[in-house]
Amino acid sequence: MERESEYPQDNAITGDGTADGITKTVETQTDRTGDASEGTQGGGKHHGHALAGILGPAFVAAVAYVDPGNVAANITSGARYGYLLVWVLVVANVMSVFIQYQSAKLGVVTGKSLPELLGERMSDAGRFMFFMQAEVIAIATDLAELIGGAIALNLLFGLPLFVGGLIIGAVSTVLLMFEGGSTQRLFEKIVIALLLVITFGFIAGLFIDPPNPVDVAKGLVPRFTNRDSVMMATSMLGATVMPHAIYLHSTLVNDHYAGGQKKPSVPRLLHGAKIDVAWALLLAGTVNLCLLILAANSLYGMKGTDSIDGAQHAIVSVLGPGIGTIFSIGLLASSLSSTSVGTYAGSEIMHGLLRIKAPMWACRVVTLVPGLVVLWFAPNPTEALVIGQVILSIGIPFAIIPLMRYTHSSSLMGRWVDGPVCHAFFLLIVVLVIALNALLVVLELCGQV
């Protein structure tokens, strides 16, 4: 049962009653006036660049879509099937834009994160069990990112994987010191800078060996060639939605104004969130698409590209050591940014569900140690990525089903509640994602992926 009394702001949001309706009208008029005057008046902290000041949270969340796991999947797809599955990435990106905006909208309208809303509606035992599965998801997420960074340092400097993992853990912990409070905007800028490094590192090869646009366009036609290509598409689509990115985005839109900064109105925040999500996910989707196209154009048919280090060696052999080095730098930036964001998400999940605000370094240790153990003992860390992907797939329904339910709750969302068409589209995505992830889990457990 939802305890609506815990949300005194809900009535103001809905505009129920004459007084609230008048207040809402005045606020809307004020918002429009402010929007019109921002371009002509200077001096104010938010004047002239109000929209730019809203942007940032989605770029942090978008890092989840360009982590080392995505790198491996996209390069493998291109090397095996050429441009065949370009359309899969396009569909996946459309889904991710919608889901991430829904998470942002939930945070903007309610002023609370998805983990907080879950924690307020569950029993103590339920909150603990939900937290445990979410923590396992956070560990599995960090595993892929830590292994990717360790491989990058091994490729760049020849460091042992365990030593590389220690360095990644240490540097990412330092990055987390800038998260929250008055340095939150700085943290966002650091992550965005790393995202730009990732972009350049992963698309540089396309400038050396540009693809044929006609061949790329043919990949937009949905089709398969054999059973294996269906499995690959299932893996790509099934791994699109990252649970920690959904949990975190609803937090980021509010943390963006930490340190006493004044928030714009809800309509303006939602408008900014649409632009923020569109640009951020467009960038992440472009990076993923470029990785697939790079592999399809330059690595098609080559053996050994089903691992990150194998793909890098193939890139070196075809495009030269310079591009190989740039690729490794992009991989390193991908690991540092995604592992920092993953730990940030884990901290917010703990805070929302258990109401415990643990130090960020403690949350980092919890997710870091299992990854270091794998790097120390596992003879082939790449195999651990497969297990991690299965765990991530299992955790996705726990994030998207509550999100769909809450954005369709009029008591929570008021006049910003999802309408029938939007809710039906969300339901379709949820069914598709869960079905594909269930199939992916079965195939991986059977050793067919």
Whether residue 294 is contained in a domain is answered as yes
Q: Which residue has the tokens 């003992």?
A: 377
Whether residue 205 is contained in a domain is answered as yes
Please answer whether residues 247 and 353 qualify as being in contact, where contact means their C-beta atoms are separated by less than 8 angstroms.
Answer: no
Tokens for 316?
Answer: 């070196």
Please answer whether residues 146 and 317 qualify as being in contact, where contact means their C-beta atoms are separated by less than 8 angstroms.
Answer: no
* CA distance linking residue 107 with residue 270, whole number of Å: 10
- Give the pLDDT of residue 48: 37
* CA distance linking residue 376 with residue 358, whole number of Å: 27
Q: Is 264 exposed, middle or buried (0-12, 13-18, 19+ CB in 10 A)?
A: buried
- Give the pLDDT of residue 270: 95
pLDDT in tens, 128-141: 999 999 888 888 88
Most confident region among 51-60, 97-106, 346-355 by mean pLDDT: 97-106
Percent of the chain residues past pLDDT 70, beyond the cut: 84
- Give the pLDDT of residue 259: 65
Q: Please report, as a single letter, which amino acid is at residue 157.
A: F
Number of domains, the chain: 1
Q: How far is CA 90 from CA 13, 100, 219, 237, 286, in A?
A: 35, 16, 10, 10, 9
pLDDT in tens, 314-346: 999 999 999 999 999 999 999 999 888 888 898
pLDDT at 82 over 50: yes
| Mean pLDDT taken over the chain | 83
Whether residue 303 is contained in a domain is answered as yes
* CA distance linking residue 146 with residue 156, whole number of Å: 15
pLDDT at 152 over 60: yes
Whether residue 19 is contained in a domain is answered as no
- The CB density around residue 410, as the number of other CB atoms within 10 Å, is 13
pLDDT in tens, 379-403: 777 667 666 766 777 888 899 999 9
Whether residue 367 is contained in a domain is answered as yes
Please answer whether residues 407 and 102 qualify as being in contact, where contact means their C-beta atoms are separated by less than 8 angstroms.
Answer: yes
- Give the pLDDT of residue 41: 36
Confidence band of 448 (pLDDT split at 50, 70, 90): low
For 317, the domain range is: 50-445
pLDDT at 357 over 70: yes
Q: Which residue has the tokens 């963006």?
A: 256
- Give the pLDDT of residue 391: 76
pLDDT at 307 over 70: yes
- The CB density around residue 41, as the number of other CB atoms within 10 Å, is 11
Mean pLDDT (whole number) for 30-53: 44
- Give the pLDDT of residue 166: 94
CATH number at residue 173: 1.20.1740.10
pLDDT at 287 over 70: yes
Q: Kindly tell me the sign of the dihedral angle through the C-alpha atoms of 19, 21, 24, 28.
A: negative
Start-to-end Cα distance in the chain: 41
Rg, Å, the chain Cα set: 22
Confidence band of 196 (pLDDT split at 50, 70, 90): very high
- Give the pLDDT of residue 197: 94
Whether residue 30 is contained in a domain is answered as no
Most confident region among 48-62, 90-104, 127-141, 355-369 by mean pLDDT: 90-104
Percent of the chain residues past pLDDT 90, beyond the cut: 50
